[in-house]
Structure 1
Amino acid sequence: MATQVGRQDAAKPSPQLVEMSWDPITRIVGSLGIYTKIDFQQREVVECHSTSSIFRGYSLFMQGKDPRDAHFITSRICGICGDNHATCSVYAQNMAFGIKPPSLGEWILNLGEAAEYMFDHNIYQENLVGVDFCEQMVRETNPGVLELAEKTEAPHAELHGYRKIADIMRALNPFTGDFYREALQMSRLTREKFCLMEGRHVHPSTLYPGGVGTVATVQLFTDYLVRLMKYVEFMKKVVPLHDDLFNFFYQALPGYEKVGQRRVLLGCWGSFQDPDVCDYDYRTMDEWGRAMFVTPGVVVDGRLVTTSLVDINLGIRILLGHSYYDDWDNQRTFVDRDPLGNPIDQRHPWNQTTVPKPQKRDFNGNYSWVMSPRWYDKRTGDYLPLDTGGGPIARLWTTALAGMVDLGGYIKATGNSVKIRLPKTAMKPEMELEWKIPPWSNAIERDRARTYFQAYAAAVALHCVDKALEEIRAGHTKTWTDFEVPKNAIGCGFHEAVRGVLSHHMVIENGKIANYHPYPPTPWNANPRDIYGTPGPYEDAVQGTPIFEENGPSNFKGIDIMRAVRSFDPCLPCGVHMYLGEGKELQVVHSPTFGVTP
C-alpha cells in the first residue's frame, strides 16, 4: 500500500514533491521498503531510498561450525532459493576439500538447479509479477491502456491462443485467469522434477560435497524427462505470449522504456558446471568457469569486460555506506593472497567481519540492514553498483556476448543473441527462440528475459538428461566421491541463484569454519547508497522513472514503481541476515496451574 507521508507547502516553488512509501513491498518475501519523492507535475520519481528492516546473522553463527554442515545451514537462508545456497556452498566445500565429484553427480545437480530455475521463474512471472500486467491491475491504473488492449490483435495468437492483448491480461487475473491457473499447475511439475534430483524442495536432502546421494537409474531420468517435455511444450506458448504483452506496453505508452531503466551494469557468476572440465581447483577456475553452460561475466555499458571468475572474485568489495554496521578496517585479515598469489582486499568477503550496529533509520545517515556490494573495476578504479536484473537478463546478456555456449543443438550463443531450440513435443512442432540483446536494461526487458530463461533452463536440462543417460548406459553410476576435511583451507563457490549472482566464501581453521560469507543477488540489487553516495540498483532504477499511471496523488497505486522494483525479483531474506542485540535471556516459569509467568 502506498503511504503519503507529506507534501511540500503549496506556496513553495516548484517542483511540488509528494513523499510516498511502499513498506512492505507486497508479493515478495521479506521486509523491503521503497521510499520515494514524486513530482506529479513532471510525472517523475525524483528520489528513492531502498530499506530493509531485519538482520539474520548467518555470517556470525556459521563461525565454529563443521564445514561439512555449511550447505545444510546456509540452505535455510531462504525458503525460496535454499537449494541455490546449498549448491553454492557445496561448490565452496569442493574447492576447500580438494574434491571432484563424479560426472553423473554433476549432471544430477545441474538437473536439480535447472528445475529450480523453471519452477521459480514460472511461479514468479505468472503468479506474482504477472499480476502487475493483469486486466484488474491495468483497469485500476491505466483504463485507457486497457481500452486500447481490447482493440489490439495479439501478433502471435496462433501460438498462444489469445486473440486480443486484453485477453492475455484477463488470463493473468489472479485465481480466475486461465493462464494464471495453468502456470500454477506447471509449477507443481517443476517441483516434482526438482525433488527427483535433490530429494526435497527447497532444502535438498541428497546434496553433499563430493556429489549427491541420489540413486541414479534410467527410470529416474525418464520420470524427469516426462515432466520436462510438458514444460517445454508450455514454453512454446509462454514466450510468444509475453513477447506480445510486453511489446504492447511499448506501443501503448510511448516512453515506457524509461520505467526501471538504469545504466547497463550487469553481473553474472555463471551456472551449470561441465564435469568434463570442472575440477573445483581455484588455479583452474577461469577455465572451468568459462565452460559453464551460463557464462560468467561483467557487462559495463553493454561491453563484456571479463569472463574470468578469478577477476570476478578479486573485484568483489563490500562497502558499508548507509547500512547499520560498524567498519572492520581494524579487524583481522583472514586471507591476504589467493591460491594464485593475488592480493586479497580487506573489504573482500574472505576478510569481512560483520559488526552490526542497530540504530534509528535516517535517510541522511544509515537506513538499511543491507550492505553495499560493489565490483571494483581495475581498468577505471570505479566501484561499480552491478545489478543482476533479476537474474535472467544478466545471464543471457553475458552468455550472448561471450559466444562460448554451444550445447548439442539445444543452445547457441552467437555474440549478440542466444538461440534456444525446443524439440518437437506431443502437440507442438520444434521451435527455435532467439533472445536478442535489448537496447535497454529496464523493467520490461528484465521481465522478458525471465521468460526466455525459462526456455533456456529447459534446453539445458534436455542436454543434461542426454549426458546423464550416457553415463548410466556406460555403467558409470557413481554419484559421490569420498573426502577428508583439511585442517586449514579456503574455498569459494560461484553460482547463479534464481535472482542472480551468488557467492559463498569460506575460511577453515583447525577443521572448523573461521569465516563464512554468502552474497546472494538481493544484497547486490537492494543495497542503499554506498560510502561514495552511489545509489543501489533499486534506488537507481526507480529514480528518474516516469509516471504513466492515470491516477493522481490521492488514489495513486505506484504501478510503474512496483513494476520497476518487482522486475528485479526481490527476495529480502537473502538480503539481510536476525539480530538480537547483546542477547536477552527470557526465563519462562511454569506454575502448578500451568500458567506461564515471564
Structure 2
Amino acid sequence: MTSSTRSGKSSKSDSNLMEMNWDPITRIVGSLGIYTKIDWAAKRVVECHSTSSVFRGYSIFMKGKDPRDAHFITSRICGICGDNHATCSVYAQNMAYGVKPPNLGEWIINLGEAAEYMFDHNIFQENLVGVDYCEKMVAETNPGVLELARHTEAPHAEDHGYKTIADIMKSLNPLEGEFYREALRVSRETREMFCLMEGRHVHPSTLYPGGVGTVATIQLFTDYLTRLMRYVEFMKRCLPMHDDLFDFFYQAMPGYEQVGQRRILLNCWGSLNDPEYCDFKYENMAMWGRKMFVTPGIVVDGKLVTNNLVDINLGIRILLGSSYYDDWEGQETFVSHDPLGNPVDRRHPWNQHTIPRPAKRDFDSKYSWTMSPRWFDGKDYLAMDTGGGPIARLWSTALSGLVDIGGYVKATGHSVVINLPRSATKPEKTFEWKIPQWSNAIERNRARTYFQAYCAAAAVYFIEQAMAEIRAGHTKTWEKFDVPKDAIGCGFTEAVRGVLSHHMVIRDGKIANYHPYPPTPWNGSVRDVYGTPGPYEDAVQNTPIFEENPPDKFKGIDIMRAVRSFDPCLPCGVHMYTGEGRTVKKLHTPHAFNSGG
C-alpha cells in the first residue's frame, strides 16, 4: 500500500532522530526518492531531501534537429502528459514561424487539452492519490480515525450516495471500491474524447504548427459532447464527495492542515488560448496571455504579483546548486534581448547550456539530476510550486478575475464559480472554489477535483464555439507556414501537473537551443545555490506525524500524502544520457539492479 522504507538512527547524537527513506516512491514512475530525518519525540519531520536518479537529456539531443519535428520528439518526454508537451512545442513553433492557426483549429486543441486534464486528474485523484485516503490505508495507519469515520455522516450524502465518511473511504479501496472502479470507466471515455480531437493519446497524431489535421464535423463534436455530458454527471457526485472526505480529515485530526503545508508560492503559466485574441506574437503576449481561459500568474503569500506572460517569461531563472551539472558561465549567449528589447538573463532557458557531471550522491553537496528553476522577482529567487497544477491555476485565475467562459466559469477576484449544465439525471449544479487559507496536501487534492469540473464546464463552451465555426462555414483547421532561417520562440501552457514552457532558438533553419521546463523540475527541484529547498523538500520538512503506528511499523502516510498531493510524475525530469558511450559489463546476478528501499 505504501512505498518501500528504510529506517535507522541518524548519525546525530539525538536518539529520537531517525533516518527514514522512501526510494522509489510508488504509484508513479519510480525515480523519485524522499530521504527524511524524523524527530519521534516531537512527531515531526525535521529534514527532507528529494532525489531524481536518472539524467534528462532532451535539451542536448534536440540540437540540430528540424524545428518542425520538435513536437513529435518532445511528446516522448513523457508517456503520461506527452500531449501537453506536443501542444506547448507547437505554441513555441507558432511564435517562431509567425503563424496563427484558424480559430476552429484552436478550439479543437482546447477541447483536446480539456479532455486530457479531465482524464489525468480523474485517474490520479481516484486511482492513485485516492488510495492514501481509502478504508484499507486508514485502517493500517489511523484506525482511530476510521472508527470516527464510521460514525460520521457525510454532509452531502444526498448528492453522492454515501451515508458515512467510512462509506466514502470504502468506495476508494483499490480494485474493489465502487468509486475506484467507476473512475476507471470514466477515464476510458475522457481518453476517447481526446482521441476524437487529436487522433491518438498520449502522443497526438493530428497536432501540428499552424493548427490541426483533424477533420472537423458536427458529428465529431457531437460524439465528444455525448461523452462530456456523462463526465459532467459524474462530477456532480465526485466534487461533493471529495469535499466531505477532505473536510473530515481536518475535523478528525486537528492540526492536519500542517501536513504538506508550505509558504504560498504558486506559479501558473495559463492555458487554453482564446483564438479571438491569441496570435502567438511575442509582442502581444501580455495581452493574449491575459485572455487565456486559465489565467497565468505568480502568487506570493496569497497575493497576485503579476499575470503578464512577458514578465513571467523574463523572470525565469535556472539555478543548479545541488544538482549534477556544471555551470555554463562563459558559454555562448543565444538571446541577449527579447523581441520587445528587454534584456534576457544568462540563466534564462533561452541561454541555458546543459552540462551533465555525474557524482556520488552527497546531501551536503550534489544529490539529484533535477535542476532548480526559480522565479526572480528582482530581489529574491523564489522556489515556486504548481501545487500539482490545479491549486495554482485556480488561485491565479480567481485573483485576476478575468475569466468569464460563457456563463459556465467565472472568476470573481476571490473564487471561481463553476456552473455544470443539466445532464441526464441531474439538474444544473453550481460549485464555487474559494481561495483557501493554506497551500497544503488537502487543499492541493481538493483543487484537483474542482479543476476537473472547471474543465468540463469550459469544454461545453468550447464545443459551442467549434460548432458555431462549422455552421458559419469556417471549416479550415490549419494554416500554412514557412520556417525562418533564424528565430526564437516560447510556448507557455499548463501540463496536467502545472507549468510547462518550451523555449527554442533556431539558427540556419535548425534547432540551436531547446529547453522544455515542465512542472517536475519546479516541484521536484533540489536545494539551489542559496540553500533554498525545493517544494517537495519544503512541504515535507516540518510536516507533523499523525500516523498511529510506532517507528518499526511506520508507513509514512502523512509524508506520502504531502508528496503525492503534488501529483509527482518523474518522466519529465529523468531521461537517460549516455555521454560518449562506454562498455557496460553484463552482470549475471538477478538482483544486481535491486533499488532497495
Whether contact under 8 Å (2:56, 2:573) holds in the other structure is: no
Aligned to 1:593: none
Whether contact under 8 Å (1:504, 1:519) holds in the other structure is: yes
CA distance in 2, matches of 1:451, 1:198: 24
CA distance in 1, matches of 2:349, 2:27: 31
Aligned to 2:573: 575
Measured at CA, do residues 480 and 420 of structure 1 come closer, stay the same or move farther in structure 2, by a change above 3 Å? same
Whether contact under 8 Å (1:335, 1:344) holds in the other structure is: yes
Please show how residues 262-281 of structure 1 align to structure 2 within 5 Å.
262-281=262-281
Question: Does residue 3 of the first structure (1) align with residue 5 of the second (2)?
Answer: yes
Aligned to 1:592: none
- Cα deviation for residue 16 of structure 1 reads 1.6
SS where residue 232 of structure 1 aligns?
helix
- Cα deviation for residue 13 of structure 1 reads 5.8
SS where residue 345 of structure 1 aligns?
coil
Aligned to 1:191: 191
Aligned pair count? 584
Amino acid in structure 2 at the alignment position of 1:531: V
Amino acid in structure 2 at the alignment position of 1:395: R
CA distance in 1, matches of 2:439, 2:527: 20
SS where residue 5 of structure 2 aligns?
strand
Measured at CA, do residues 151 and 476 of structure 1 come closer, stay the same or move farther in structure 2, by a change above 3 Å? same
CA distance in 2, matches of 1:133, 1:271: 30
CA distance in 1, matches of 2:268, 2:22: 29
Q: What is the aligned-residue identity percentage?
A: 76
What are the Cα deviations for residues 115-167 of structure 1, in whole angstroms up to 9, with x where unaligned? 00000000000000000000000000000000000000000000000000000
Aligned to 1:584: 582
Amino acid in structure 2 at the alignment position of 1:70: A
SS where residue 45 of structure 2 aligns?
strand
Please show how residues 346-495 of structure 1 align to structure 2 within 5 Å.
346-378=346-378, 381-495=379-493
Amino acid in structure 2 at the alignment position of 1:6: G
Range moving further from structure 2, 493-502 or 25-34: 25-34
CA distance in 1, matches of 2:281, 2:562: 39
Amino acid in structure 2 at the alignment position of 1:69: D
Amino acid in structure 2 at the alignment position of 1:550: E
What TM-score comes out, normalization by structure 1 length? 0.97
- Cα deviation for residue 55 of structure 1 reads 1.0
Please show how residues 163-178 of structure 1 align to structure 2 within 5 Å.
163-178=163-178
CA distance in 2, matches of 1:198, 1:310: 29
Measured at CA, do residues 401 and 468 of structure 1 come closer, stay the same or move farther in structure 2, by a change above 3 Å? same
- Cα deviation for residue 580 of structure 1 reads 1.2
- Cα deviation for residue 14 of structure 1 reads 4.3
CA distance in 1, matches of 2:581, 2:384: 35
Measured at CA, do residues 89 and 419 of structure 1 come closer, stay the same or move farther in structure 2, by a change above 3 Å? same
Query: Which of the residues 548, 551, 574 maps onto 1:550?
Result: 548
CA distance in 1, matches of 2:584, 2:240: 57
Range moving further from structure 2, 259-268 or 14-23: 14-23
**Root-mean-square deviation over aligned CA pairs:** 1.2
CA distance in 2, matches of 1:249, 1:78: 33
Amino acid in structure 2 at the alignment position of 1:530: D
CA distance in 2, matches of 1:318, 1:516: 14
Aligned to 1:564: 562
Whether contact under 8 Å (1:549, 1:558) holds in the other structure is: yes
- Cα deviation for residue 5 of structure 1 reads 4.0
What TM-score comes out, normalization by structure 2 length? 0.97
- Gaps in structure 1 of 5+ consecutive residues: 589-598
Whether contact under 8 Å (1:374, 1:384) holds in the other structure is: yes
Aligned to 2:592: none
Aligned to 2:295: 295
Amino acid in structure 2 at the alignment position of 1:245: L
Amino acid in structure 2 at the alignment position of 1:167: D
CA distance in 1, matches of 2:523, 2:463: 33
Aligned to 2:521: 523
CA distance in 2, matches of 1:207, 1:584: 38
Aligned to 1:17: 17
Please show how residues 46-65 of structure 1 align to structure 2 within 5 Å.
46-65=46-65
- Cα deviation for residue 576 of structure 1 reads 2.8
CA distance in 1, matches of 2:450, 2:72: 31
Whether contact under 8 Å (1:2, 1:558) holds in the other structure is: no
- Cα deviation for residue 579 of structure 1 reads 1.6
- Gaps in structure 2 of 5+ consecutive residues: 587-597
Whether contact under 8 Å (2:269, 2:309) holds in the other structure is: yes
CA distance in 2, matches of 1:140, 1:30: 23
Amino acid in structure 1 at the alignment position of 2:192: E
Amino acid in structure 2 at the alignment position of 1:487: K
- Cα deviation for residue 575 of structure 1 reads 1.7
CA distance in 1, matches of 2:55, 2:234: 39
Whether contact under 8 Å (1:15, 1:41) holds in the other structure is: no
- Cα deviation for residue 354 of structure 1 reads 0.2
CA distance in 1, matches of 2:216, 2:562: 43
Amino acid in structure 2 at the alignment position of 1:7: K
Amino acid in structure 1 at the alignment position of 2:6: Q
- Cα deviation for residue 54 of structure 1 reads 0.5
CA distance in 2, matches of 1:449, 1:115: 17
SS where residue 515 of structure 1 aligns?
strand
SS where residue 231 of structure 1 aligns?
helix
Amino acid in structure 2 at the alignment position of 1:38: I
- Cα deviation for residue 209 of structure 1 reads 0.1
